[in-house]
Chain A
Amino acid sequence: MDMLLSRAVAALLTLSGLLTLGYIGISSYIAEELVYEAPKAIVKTPASLGLAFANVSFPSRNDHINLKGWFIPGVLPDGRLTADRVIVTIHGTRTNREDPGAHLLELTAALARNGFGVLSFDMRGMGESPAAPLSMGNLEQRDVLGAVDFLRSGRLPLPELGRPRMIGGLGVSMGAASLLMAAAGEPGIQAVVSDSAYAEIVPILEREIAKRSVAPIGRIPGVLAPSALVMAQLLYGVDFFAARPVATVARIAPRPLLLIHGTADDYVPITNFYALNTAATSVPGEHVTTWIVPNARHAQAFKKTGTEYVTRVVAFFDAALGAAA
Chain B
Amino acid sequence: MRSLRATPPILVLFVLVALLVVITIITREISGHADFLVERQIVLLVWLAGLLIAGVVFAWFVRRAMRRDASRSRLLLMVLTVLLLASPLSLSLLQHPAP
Contacts and interface: CB of A to CB of B under 8 A. Distances in A.
Interface of A: 2-3, 5-7, 9-10, 12-14, 16-17, 19-21, 23-25, 28-29, 32, 35-36, 125, 130-133, 206, 221-227, 234-237
A84 to B, nearest CB: 37
Contact of A20 (B62, B79, B89): B89
Interface in B60-95: 62, 66, 70, 75, 78-79, 81-82, 85-86, 88-89, 92-93, 95
Contacts of A224: 92
Contact of A125 (B9, B36, B55, B89): B36
Nearest to A238: B40
B37 A5 contact: no
B61 to A, nearest CB: 10
What is the size category of the interface that chain B forms with chain A? Answer: 35 or more
- Looking at chain B's contact residues, is the secondary structure mostly helix, strand, loop, or mixed? helix
Nearest to A65: B36
Interface string B50-63: 01100100110010
Given A13-B82, A24-B51, A235-B43, A19 B89 contact: yes
A1 to B, nearest CB: 10
Contacts of A24: 51, 88
A193 to B, nearest CB: 30
Nearest to B48: A25
B47 A28 contact: yes
Contacts of B37: 36, 131
